Amino acid sequence: MNPTLKSGMHPDAEILTAFAEQLLPAVEHDRILAHMATCNRCREVLFLAQQATSEDQVVPVAGSAVASAKKRASGFNGWRWMWIPATAFAGLIGVAVIMHFRHAASETQVTAKLSPTDNLRKEESVRTTTANPPPASQSSEALKQVTRATPSEARDGAVLTDKDTAKELDEKKSIERRQVSVGAAAPPMVLQPGLPGNSIHGMMAARAKSAPVGGPMAANQFQQQSVAEQQNALQSQSAQFDATNSPVIAGSVPAAASQTVTVQPKAEVSAPAPAQPAPLDLIPMTGQSYSLSSVSSSAVSKAQRISLPTGLGTLSVARSGGRTIALDTAGALFLSEDAGKHWQPVHMQWTGHAVLVRTRPTGTQTDTLQAPQTARFELINDNLQTWVSSDGKIWTLEPLPVK
């Protein structure tokens, strides 16, 4: 027992100090508390000592507060310069992401669209084009009808100053390539004239269409050869589909359009070539073959990423301006005005089963050489009838081209 807690005495200063500092055992603490409950002298001593402690701690506390504030400030100052590497890192990540998507898109397009023989042709085309650059007499109109083999070639050849424009152009081109396979009237691919990097098909087609090189006979010959080659490749890839179900409009020409040759509809060809290529309606092509053979893998993956309200897969997608229309596998059409975030169904205003949607630039070919800002949507059903719409909502039947 503590001698100072003997009966008859107040707890001494040391016991009170230990009480205030919470150093007493529980039993002794309770005894002191019981004493102070009735002893105002000890309470007063305790409160005064505590007051002195509190006031004495004001200075070091304030000093420590300043020190901690300085410490925090210094720590923040240390981090303040982190925005430079952080910004650089974010920029690198952004560039890497952009490059990744562009590279992936080009690679997948090349893989999907070019057979091994096409790759060989592509290399040959490059060599040929380098060795024999197109003559200056070849007008841009002739080259308009030459499609690029790959988007990478387009990057090499085309002068696309704006990256976004180039990317958008690639997407449009991948969609338009699909449209070619279906056999509908396909718009020409936009290409800068006079630049190397086109496939040998394109070169030959361009030369065939130009009168000094080959004339219409050569054009027809080349086109038939190209279509036959492409048809062989497509048939090997789409063996699971029944080609007999596809409607044959005119059986004189083998199916499948070339990837590298754009067949110009008669009405739109402004080239002075005397020999017109075969009309579109003479090229038998099925939607089934389109769906597997002509769709680039990037486009397929992009279409698969689109989630339509019906929950079905996406069959075809077309974009124009800020609008996007998508066709699901059941033939239902949806319109999005916010880049695919929200979709609204479009009332069926066509007959048959819609199998394809696409965009088609409006205006002349010369206009399309510059960035086509206005385009209209086209919808093709399983009878190869075409409906057109400027806003994706109201569709009108487009009359068949005059044969």
Partner 1 sequence: MDAAPIQPVEDPPSGEASAAPAAVHPALLDEFWRDCGARAWGLERSDFDRILLVVAMAQNFGLASGVAAQRKEQAAFFHSLKLDDLVLAKACAVGNERAWEHFMAVYGQPLTRAAIAISGNETLGRDLADAFYAELYGLSTRDGERRCPLDSYRGRGSLLGWLRTTLAQRFVDHYRRTFREQSLDDQVHDVAVSNSVPSPEPAILATLRQAIHAALRDQPAEEQFLLAAYYADDKTLAEIGQVLHVHEATISRRLRRATDAVRKHLLRNLEKSGMSRRGAEEALGIDPRDLDLKMDLRKLLQSSVPEPFTVQAITDPVAAQETIARASLSDEAKTTG
Contact residues for partner 1 (CB under 8 A)? 7-18, 20-24, 30, 33-56
Q: Which two tokens stand for residue 148?
A: 């690029």
Least Å from the CB of residue 27 to partner 1: 12
Q: How far is CA 145 from the centre of its chain?
A: 27
Q: What is the 3-state secondary structure (H, E, C) of the chain?
A: CCHHHCCCCCCCHHHHHHHHCCCCCHHHHHHHHHHHHHCHHHHHHHHHHHHHHHHHCHHHHHHHHHHHHHHHHHHHHHHHCCHHHHHHHHHHHHHHHHHHHHHHHHHHHHHHHCCHHHHHHHHHHHHHHHHCCCCCCCCHHHHHCECCCCHHHHHHHCCCCCHHHHHHHHHHHHHHHHHHHHCCCCCCCCCCCCCCCCCHHHHHHHHHHCCCCCHHHHHHHHHHHHHHHHHHHHHHHCCCCCHHHCCCCCCCCCCCCCCCECCCCCCCCCCCCCCCCCCHHHCCCCHHHHHHHHCCHHHHHHHHHCCCCCCCCEEEEEEECCEEEEEECCCCEEEECCCCCCCEEECCCCCCCEEEEEEEECCCHHHHHCCCCCEEEEEEECCCCEEEECCCCCCEEECCCCC
User: 310, 341 in Cβ contact below 8 A?
Assistant: no
Q: Considering beta carbons, is residue 35 or 266 the nearer one to partner 1?
A: 35
Calpha distance 127→33 (Å, rounded): 101
Alpha carbon distance, N-terminus to C-terminus of the chain: 121
Would you call 275 exposed, middle or buried from its count of C-beta atoms within 10 A (0-12, 13-18, 19+)? middle
Least Å from the CB of residue 25 to partner 1: 10
If one counts every other C-beta atom within 10 angstroms of the C-beta of residue 103, the result is 11
